[in-house]
Amino acid sequence: MVIDLAYASDQNFIGKKVYHNAHAFLHKEAAEKLEIAQNLAENLGYTIKVLDAFRPTEAQWVLWEACPNPVFVADPNKGSSHSRGIAIDLTLVNHKGMALDMGTPFDDFTPQSFHRDVIISKEAQLNRFTLLGIMSAAGWDFYEKEWWHYQLFNSKNYPLISDKDAPMSLMK
């Protein structure tokens, strides 16, 4: 597994660092399902590249202020599945470490990022379906408007977590 958190650098849609460190955390149940997904990906010759995981509510506010569009950034007043530690943004990389073509980059806030009704290359469609199959088989739910976003089912059953009290698994 490769961890490359977009918000731990300035290489993201707002162009500035949001996280103080590049540690990726997930709720224990989500971390276990991600391990299953990684094993499935490896069986197909791929590796999972983690782009975002637990997102403190404080960071959710920074993203919301930059893009107050609830289609792509959850309203922090309602809570985010990322801020519950049960969501992950990811892609697949090949054996050379190159990200697969998914038709759009991560955090491309256009309808081309949706799972359905998009016009992308056959290769990108196949790559998206491969990622969807891996994550679904590992027990993840998907968000129909972002090919990169997966979360545990029944996300509202998990409490919001602040940066100070994150009792989760560190991914390495």
Tens-place pLDDT, residues 53-77:
999 888 999 999 999 999 999 999 9
Percent of the chain at pLDDT > 90 equals: 85
Q: What are phi and psi of 102, to 5 degrees?
A: -110, 10
Q: Which CATH class is domain 2-161?
A: alpha beta
Q: Which are the contacts of 96, defined by CB distance < 8 A and separation ≥ 6?
A: none
pTM, full prediction? 0.92
Strands 87-93 and 141-142: unpaired
Active site residues: 146
Tens-place pLDDT, residues 125-153:
999 999 999 999 999 999 999 999 999 99
For the chain, the three-class secondary structure string (H helix, E strand, C coil) is CEECCHHHCCCCCCCCCCCCCCCEEECHHHHHHHHHHHHHHHHCCCEEEEEECCCCHHHHHHHHHHCCCCCCCCCCCCCCCHHHCCEEEEEEECCCCCECCCCCCCCCCCHHHCCCCCCCCHHHHHHHHHHHHHHHHCCCEECCCCCCEEECCCHHHCCCCCHHHCCCEEEC
Task: Say how far apart CA 69 and CA 74 lie, in whole Å.
Answer: 8
- Report the amino acid identity of residue 14: I
Task: Say how far apart CA 122 and CA 60 lie, in whole Å.
Answer: 34
- Extents of the domains making up the chain: 2-161
Task: Say how far apart CA 157 and CA 57 lie, in whole Å.
Answer: 17
Q: In the prediction, which pLDDT does 104 show?
A: 97
pLDDT at 161 over 90: no
Inter-residue contact 100 to 93 (CB < 8 Å): yes
Average pLDDT of 17-35? 93
